[in-house]
Amino acid sequence: MKPLSPQNIESELSYAYIHAVAAHSGFGCKIGTRHDDNAGVDAILTGWGPFENGGYLQEVEINVQLKATIKPKLLSPQGYSYSLAGINQYNDLRTETISTPRILVVLFLPNDKSTWLEHSEDALMLRNCAYWVSLRGAGESNNDTSQTVYLPQTQCFDPIGLTGLMSRLSRRDIPLYKGSPS
């Protein structure tokens, strides 16, 4: 049996990251099935209310497309840029004709693999941070292979950010994409 490739390790760490954030927030997180993956869904998050500043829905779900990268975070006025490979994935994330909202979550890892994960008796630390963006309503791409998207710096995928997102969804306030295709 061969060891995991660096890209597979990045991917597995992104799953660990969202599981940890969802668990800390009191929400469920399940890995998508092969069929979900074929539809561009890597994980499904479920939240149960009542939600702080929430609405009338007491259970909400969101589908997540997960990515991880060692490329440096480049901040523009729209947010951190990320090149999303696969126009089909981009189109799946931007569609408005689905009932369960979808978000893209990108984990930015350090370039040095030896610093990705550290542990001691006091802590288990996964380096750097993930950000989320809804591409719902984003414009059509002019590219055939990839699309640069922007993850707002204010949309950190952490317990506060996830709880706020679930609260919005409980009011049927589905975030729309505010970036611009490039």
Domains and CATH numbers, the chain: 6-170 (3.40.1350.10)
- Which range, of 1-5, 63-67, 69-73, 78-82, averages the lowest pLDDT? 1-5
Report residue 46 as tokens. 């479920």
pTM of the model as a whole = 0.94
Residue 92 C-beta-side C-alpha neighbours within 13 Å? 19
Q: Which residue has the higher pLDDT, 64 or 180?
A: 64
Report residue 33 as tokens. 């099935």
The pLDDT confidence band at residue 182, using thresholds 50, 70 and 90, is: very low
pLDDT tens digits along 123-142: 999 999 999 999 999 999 99
- Specify whether the CB–CB gap between 44 and 15 falls below 8 A: no
SS3 7: helix
> What pLDDT does residue 73 have?
92
- Specify whether the CB–CB gap between 110 and 70 falls below 8 A: yes
Q: How far apart are CA 181 and CA 141, in angstroms?
A: 7
Contacts of 168 (CB under 8 A, 6+ apart): 174, 175
> What pLDDT does residue 180 have?
58
The owner of tokens 């380096």 is 127
As to burial, measured by CB atoms within 10 angstroms (0-12 exposed, 13-18 middle, 19+ buried), residue 159 is middle
pLDDT tens digits along 152-168: 999 999 999 999 999 99
R_g of the chain, CA atoms, integer Å: 16
